[in-house]
């Protein structure tokens, strides 16, 4: 009998429910995770007999994370300095809406913040059926992360802007547009970081938030986007021969002429506003009484197709004749004479 009792005493501690961790106590949480240093979310519930405990714990952990996010949302929406910074920026820069908040922006910012350095704990008390979840994140880790995040995104956006400027100078308008599009989501990241830093960093200044730099960047991107939107994109299909030899005399000079009028050229027809088709050939038109001169005529078939309206807007056959001491020279002159004529006739459409 004594052996049986001894055995039960030995087994009993192994079967006893684990002691609840100290963080389940609100007093412990208040003392060890003060709001001045930590954002926290705590949730408690009970599981019924036969329920899936693991599923219940995962759901409670999500609840705790949401409560943590809500605490950041409250900080962002109630932070009076947000309005002050926005007013300063409206006076000192052109991008006054940089700190304008709405509910979706605030929720997205807070939800993103919870993923940075967040720790989530959970516990199931088998004796009482109680389950607990505790999510926490260090305020100063968030501040460090989002200050760095702000700087990184600004640098990347500035890099895209500079690349776009270089491409614009080289008349590579399509590629310049792509760089501007790559910079847009970076501006969203910058706004999120600024929203969060204003709420959680009591010492954040206008300089810390890099508001003027952001305003200048946004203004430059908007202006460049407007310029690029005015460009006309042309896709060229050409076949050009000089007495049977493939050349690009008309095509290259025509592109240079049209570029001066604001046209840009793309390699993918899907990106074009217009498709230009050129069929050009040269024939010998020397007469018997040419007195040693050779003459050639360049014939061009020109078709301009509007990619947006899906129809041909201009179509014509153009010929130019020229003379020279050699037939090849006469042919080249005739081809060169075609360029200003074609450019002038296309100018009405390529605006």
CATH code of residue 247: 3.30.160.150
Look at residue 59 and tell me if it is in a domain.
Answer: yes
- Which residues lie across from 122 on neighbouring strands? 133
pLDDT at res. 309: 85
- Residue where one domain finishes, among candidates 107, 139, 171: 139
Look at residue 2 and tell me if it is in a domain.
Answer: no
- Residue where one domain finishes, among candidates 214, 229, 244: 229
Question: Does 237 share its domain with 310?
Answer: yes
pLDDT at 79 over 90: no
pLDDT per position as a tens digit, 173-190: 778 888 998 998 898 889
- Residue where one domain finishes, among candidates 92, 118, 139: 139
Per the listing, tokens 């599009």 go with: 181
Look at residue 14 and tell me if it is in a domain.
Answer: no
Look at residue 220 and tell me if it is in a domain.
Answer: yes
Look at residue 90 and tell me if it is in a domain.
Answer: yes
Question: Does 86 share its domain with 124?
Answer: yes
Query: Which residues span the domain enclosing 164?
Result: 141-229
Angle at 67 (CA atoms; ends 65, 69), nearest 5 degrees = 70
Angle at 202 (CA atoms; ends 196, 208), nearest 5 degrees = 70
Give the CATH number, domain containing residue 175.
Answer: 1.20.58
Q: Looking at the 3D structure of the chain, how many domains does it have?
A: 3
Q: What are phi and psi of 85, to 5 degrees?
A: -65, -40
Question: Does 238 share its domain with 177?
Answer: no
For residues 258-262, average pLDDT: 82
pLDDT at 255 over 80: yes
Q: Is 157 exposed, middle or buried (0-12, 13-18, 19+ CB in 10 A)?
A: buried
For residues 318-345, average pLDDT: 94
What proportion of the chain, given as a percentage, has pLDDT over 90?
43
Residue 205 token pair: 């200044």
pLDDT at res. 242: 95
Question: Does 133 share its domain with 160?
Answer: no
Q: Long-range contacts: 167-175, Cβ < 8 Å, 24+?
A: 168/224, 168/227, 168/228, 171/259, 171/264, 171/265, 172/264, 173/228, 173/231, 173/233, 173/264, 174/233, 174/264, 174/266, 174/268, 174/271
Look at residue 4 and tell me if it is in a domain.
Answer: no
Question: Does 76 share its domain with 153?
Answer: no
Secondary element (H or E) of residue 154: helix 139-169
* SS3 (DSSP) at 22: helix
Question: Does 168 share its domain with 268?
Answer: no
Question: Does 205 share its domain with 279?
Answer: no
Secondary element (H or E) of residue 9: helix 2-15
Question: Does 279 share its domain with 323?
Answer: yes
107 band by pLDDT with thresholds 50, 70 and 90: low
Considering only residues 262 and 167, tell me which one the structure prediction assigns the higher pLDDT. 167
pTM of the model: 0.56
């Amino acid at each position: 009998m004594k052996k049986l009792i001894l055995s039960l005493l030995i087994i009993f501690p192994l079967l006893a429910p684990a002691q609840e961790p100290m963080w389940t106590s609100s007093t412990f949480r208040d003392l060890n995770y003060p709001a001045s240093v930590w954002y926290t979310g705590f949730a408690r519930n009970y599981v019924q007999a036969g329920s899936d405990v693991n599923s219940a714990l995962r759901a409670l952990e999500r609840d705790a994370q949401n409560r943590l996010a809500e605490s950041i949302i409250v900080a962002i929406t109630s932070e009076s300095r947000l309005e002050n910074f926005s007013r300063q920026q409206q006076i000192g820069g052109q991008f006054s809406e940089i700190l304008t908040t709405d509910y979706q922006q605030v929720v997205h910012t807070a939800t993103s913040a919870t993923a940075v350095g967040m720790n989530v704990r959970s516990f199931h008390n088998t004796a009482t059926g109680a389950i607990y979840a505790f999510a926490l994140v260090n305020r100063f880790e968030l501040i460090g992360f989002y200050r760095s995040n702000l700087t990184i995104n600004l640098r990347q956006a500035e890099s895209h802007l500079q690349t776009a400027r270089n491409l614009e100078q080289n008349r590579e308008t399509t590629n310049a547009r792509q760089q501007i599009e790559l910079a847009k989501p970076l501006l969203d990241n910058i706004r999120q970081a600024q929203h969060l830093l204003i709420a959680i960093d009591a010492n954040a200044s206008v300089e810390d938030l890099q508001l003027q730099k952001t305003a200048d960047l946004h203004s430059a991107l908007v202006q460049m986007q407007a310029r690029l939107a005015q460009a006309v994109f042309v896709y060229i299909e050409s076949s050009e021969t000089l007495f049977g030899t493939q050349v690009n005399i008309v095509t290259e000079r025509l592109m240079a002429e049209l570029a001066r009028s604001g046209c840009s050229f793309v390699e993918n027809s899907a990106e074009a506003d217009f498709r230009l088709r050129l069929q050009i050939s040269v024939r010998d038109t020397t007469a018997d009484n040419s007195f040693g001169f050779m003459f050639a005529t360049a014939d061009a078939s020109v078709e301009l197709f509007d990619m947006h309206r899906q129809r041909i807007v201009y179509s014509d056959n153009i010929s130019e004749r020229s003379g020279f001491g050699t037939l090849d020279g006469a042919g080249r002159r005739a081809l060169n004479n075609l360029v200003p004529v074609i450019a002038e006739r296309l100018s009405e459409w390529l605006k």
